[in-house]
Amino acid sequence: MAAFSNTRTVRIEWGDCDPAGIIFYPRYFVIFDASTAMLFEAALGRTKFQMFKTLDFAGFPLVKTHARFLKPTRFGDDVTVQSSIVFGRSSFEIEHTLSLDGTLCAECSEKRVWTIRDAEGRLKSHPVPAAVLAKFG
């Protein structure tokens, strides 16, 4: 299946920055996590909160990540985050790029797993539902 992608603009806020006035690197992971949720929202037409209520879904925990930080961003910057996804059976790979005025500033890869709750309430990996996959067409 070809990669589905979503692009969004994020403003770097004062609280995202360290004393040097640049974004504190863990904040990038917050942006990338929200971008993953926005990718699903763009495809499915429902928020992650709504997914919990309408799908056999208990979340998509992160099992592996890697990031490169190439150029700092600062308070007030409007950055562009492009996210793309490729599905496996119960896991999926997401690639995020974060750029400022066309210059790549950070990139991140994620591997996540679709989960449901078993009879005891524990998280358990589960194949991504066909109805979800169809929306990413």
Query: What integer pLDDT is reported at residue 46 of this predicted model?
Result: 96
Q: Take residue 25 and report the two structure tokens written for it.
A: 């690197």
Domains held by the chain: number: 1
Residues of the domain holding 59? 4-135
Amino acid at position 62, single letter: L
Query: What integer pLDDT is reported at residue 137 of this predicted model?
Result: 83
Query: What integer pLDDT is reported at residue 2 of this predicted model?
Result: 53
Query: What integer pLDDT is reported at residue 29 of this predicted model?
Result: 97
Query: What integer pLDDT is reported at residue 25 of this predicted model?
Result: 94
Smallest CA-to-CA distance from 126 within 71, 67, 57 is with: 57
- pTM value? 0.93
Query: What integer pLDDT is reported at residue 82 of this predicted model?
Result: 98
pLDDT along the chain (137 residues), means of 10: 85 95 95 98 96 96 98 97 97 98 98 97 96 94
Q: Take residue 84 and report the two structure tokens written for it.
A: 């793309």
Q: Are 21 and 74 in contact (CB under 8 A)?
A: yes
- What CATH number does residue 69 fall under? 3.10.129.10
Q: Take residue 117 and report the two structure tokens written for it.
A: 């709750």
Smallest CA-to-CA distance from 11 within 132, 98, 97, 106 is with: 98
Distance CA 114, CA 123 (A): 10
| Sign of the C-alpha dihedral computed for residues 93, 49, 134 and 43 taken in this order | negative
Q: Are 6 and 38 in contact (CB under 8 A)?
A: yes
Amino acid at position 84, single letter: S
